[in-house]
Amino acid sequence: MSLHYFTVWMHHERVTMSEHEFTNRLVNETSPYLLQHAHNPVDWYPWGPEALEKAAGQNKPILLSIGYSACHWCHVMEHESFENEPIAKLMNDNFVCIKVDREERPDLDAIYMNAVQMMTGHGGWPMTVFLTPDGRPFYGGTYFPPVDRHGMPGFPRILIAISEAYQTNREEIEKSASGLLGELRNLDVVKPQEGQLSREISDHAISQLLRLHDTAYGGFGSKPKFPPSMTLTFMLRRHHQTKDQSILDAVELTLQKMALGGMYDQLGGGFHRYSVDEKWLVPHFEKMLYDNALLSRIYLDAWLVTEKDLYKRIATETLDYVRREMTDPNGGFYSTQDADSEGEEGKFFVWSAGEITELLGPDDAPLFCRYFDVTESGNFEEHNILHIDQDSTVIAKLMGVSSERLSEAVERGKRILFEAREKRIKPGRDEKMLTAWNGLMLRSFAEASRVFGRMDYLEVAKSNAEFVLKHLRKDGRLLRTHKDGESRLNGYLEDYSYLIDGLLSLYEATFDIRWFEEALTLAETMIENFWDDSDGGFYFTSIDHESLITRTRDFYDNATPSGNSVAAGALIKLALLTGEDRFRQMAEKILLIMKSAMMRAPNGFGHMLCALDLHLSSPHEIAIVAQRGDAGAGPLIDTVFNRYLPNKVVAMADAADSAAASRIKLLENRTPLDGRATAYVCRNFHCEAPVTDPVGLAQQLQCSQT
């Protein structure tokens, strides 16, 4: 069908979803994103043998569409094109159409995103890729409008052109697909580099990052700005090592601007995905579990370094948001909250000045509005995103009230507006639970429970670990996703490495040997199924995973840390705890592979640089032993965890627990001194004298912090 005749036909024949109901194969899936498309007139298939066999049998190209449930433009393209019957017919007649949730299948997303970036120079979601029947990409892009618009070709034009080219110019398409496949496979060829790992890498990275730092608003580069949690974590570590105040200043500026801006939910806690402007004012309103896991952790660390109340408040409010909004009754953590509600982006989160005045009354409303910069004209589509643009003492003076009066009005107003907001229609929530993201959040709750002395956080962490190990592990192997009582899909490298890392933090929060043993067992499984014996590093998929057009490796810390960077850090910790040097050697190989890349593009390797810092730092190895029930152990533990000491491992056991000592070599031959709870601090191949009092332990830790 030519574009002209298709346009005429679509004009006369367009039928909306309200007139016809459809059901496709996605109705049998568990992913909320796939289920959103289950009643499109598109004959969608999930990725799998049925779709691939149909494409091969009918010699049809594949139209692969990849997105996720909280993606605003994914919803737009669905409404404009996938719910449009004439466009759907064009898709169904000429292609085998496959829909993929990128959060369930990051292996597919990684391969085809690399392809789209090679073809177009950019990527994003929704992602639309055209494949040969055997899965090789030959054309792709992101969002396509339903008609030619803003210099972009309409989706029907693309579909007709691709179909005609596939029928009439197959040889050229095959050649293009084979060439692109060769380039994709070259991306996954890695070799450890010559030379040694040294502080020069970290020093060069810091120099680069400080040059990129936005000295006005924090963050790096220009708009849009994504929260650089991993980069900030690395910078905080380097400040700890060097005492360079400029590094800490850069970290604090970014943390403060994000916390006071519109990217942070000033009423409900938690961070939105990113800021569309350089000032952190207007967010893209979706909330992701992984962002809030990583950001709560950097604010916790910043509080340990500075003891500033703002950072503790943001860390706890973020964790409280996750506990309230994103935690399943059985202990798992949900994945995302949508940007949209009632068909409008951000509607749930924004306010008019009139709404606030009506809720708060004439006495409090002016103070609240001035504090959160609320105006009649608004700052987002005639509404207001709450944010703080001046210090409260300055605002109190400008408003002619005391700081106490302003604080009372603000806190009372936040409670009232939050309660009113709870009555609104909430954004959609993707309630699938991903092993990897749960591992990230597990670590954050475990660390916060120890640092803040929060038993409620500890219960959340333990419940989560129980849930994941019970529902997302089968025959010793991890699964990727759980939804509606069903767990499915092979676990990826990040599922293993993130969970191992989280379990090690839970061990340090509880000193229950079970969590250490679970982490160690999973590490051995990860090595057996993902490690590359020839060149080092871990593959993204296991050795027995479905065969795809290439087997990728993941080293780049993007929105989430790479599986390799988290694995490197976890393996170093396991080496210190167990005394098994093979774990350290594996981590070192990973770091050597990325040696040049870390220097060249440090903002893409924030977590990898943290693993490098751990590797180079001569970490503290702290063992605490005590008689059962000895209350003296608590103050020693608190002394370790109430300070910023990022490069450490801590083990503790009852003096009579020979099993723990046999499993964790750090505890071997450690006994209580004079029957009292005792701490042993070792570092850089030597040990300090054992100590039994918190003051003595604090002195040892203070003297050896660099």
Mean pLDDT, range 593-611, rounded to an integer: 95
Q: Which amino acid is at 166?
A: Y
d(CA 83, CA 61): 21
Residue for token pair 């829909």: 99
Residue 524 pLDDT > 90: yes
Residue 12 pLDDT > 60: no
Residue 503 pLDDT > 50: yes
Q: Residues 394-438: pLDDT tens digits?
A: 999 999 999 999 999 999 999 999 999 999 999 999 999 999 999
Rg (CA), the chain: 27
Concatenating the DSSP letter of every residue in 597-644 gives HHHH-GGG-HHHHHHHHHHHS--EEEEEEE-TT-TTHHHHHHHHHTS-
Residue 19: C-alpha distances to residues 77, 79, 84, 119 (Å): 20, 15, 12, 39
pLDDT at 705: 54
Contact present, 139 and 162 (Cβ < 8 Å): yes
Mean pLDDT, range 510-539, rounded to an integer: 97
How does 159-181 read in b/e, with b if 16+ C-beta sit within 10 Å?
bbebbebbeeeeeebeebbeebb
Reported as a pLDDT band with limits 50, 70 and 90, residue 31 is very high
d(CA 309, CA 256): 11
Reported as a pLDDT band with limits 50, 70 and 90, residue 193 is confident
pLDDT at 149: 87
Residue 85 pLDDT > 90: yes
Domains in the chain, ordered, with CATH?
Answer: 3-187 (3.40.30.10), 349-423 (no CATH), 620-703 (3.40.30)
Residue 13 pLDDT > 90: no
Please give the mean pLDDT across all residues of the chain. Answer: 94
Residues of the chain above pLDDT 90, percent: 89
pLDDT at 122: 87
| DSSP state at residue 126 | S
Sheet containing 137-141: order of strands: 45-46, 96-101, 62-67, 127-131, 137-141
Mean pLDDT, range 11-16, rounded to an integer: 44
Q: Residues 377-387: pLDDT tens digits?
A: 999 999 999 99
Q: Residues 33-50: pLDDT tens digits?
A: 999 999 999 999 999 999
pLDDT at 189: 85
Contact present, 201 and 596 (Cβ < 8 Å): no
Residue 75 pLDDT > 50: yes
Beta strands in 291-334 (DSSP E): none
Residue ranges of alpha helices (H) inside 453-512 are: 455-471, 493-510
644 phi/psi in degrees, rounded to 5: -80, 105
Residue 675: C-alpha distances to residues 2, 36, 530, 678 (Å): 88, 63, 45, 8
Reported as a pLDDT band with limits 50, 70 and 90, residue 343 is confident
pLDDT at 566: 98
pTM for this entry = 0.94
Residue 647 pLDDT > 70: yes
Reported as a pLDDT band with limits 50, 70 and 90, residue 657 is confident
Contact present, 201 and 598 (Cβ < 8 Å): yes
- 476 conformational bin, left if phi > 0, alpha if psi -120 to 50, beta if neither: left
Residue 2 pLDDT > 90: no
Burial class (CB in 10 A: 0-12, 13-18, 19+), 688: middle
Q: Residues 207-255: pLDDT tens digits?
A: 999 999 999 999 998 889 999 999 999 999 999 999 999 999 999 999 9
Residue bearing the bigger pLDDT, 13 or 535: 535
pLDDT at 22: 92
Mean pLDDT, range 594-620, rounded to an integer: 95
Q: Residues 278-300: pLDDT tens digits?
A: 999 999 999 999 999 999 999 99
Q: Residues 346-391: pLDDT tens digits?
A: 999 999 999 999 999 999 999 999 999 999 999 999 999 999 999 9
Q: Which two tokens stand for residue 452?
A: 């803040």
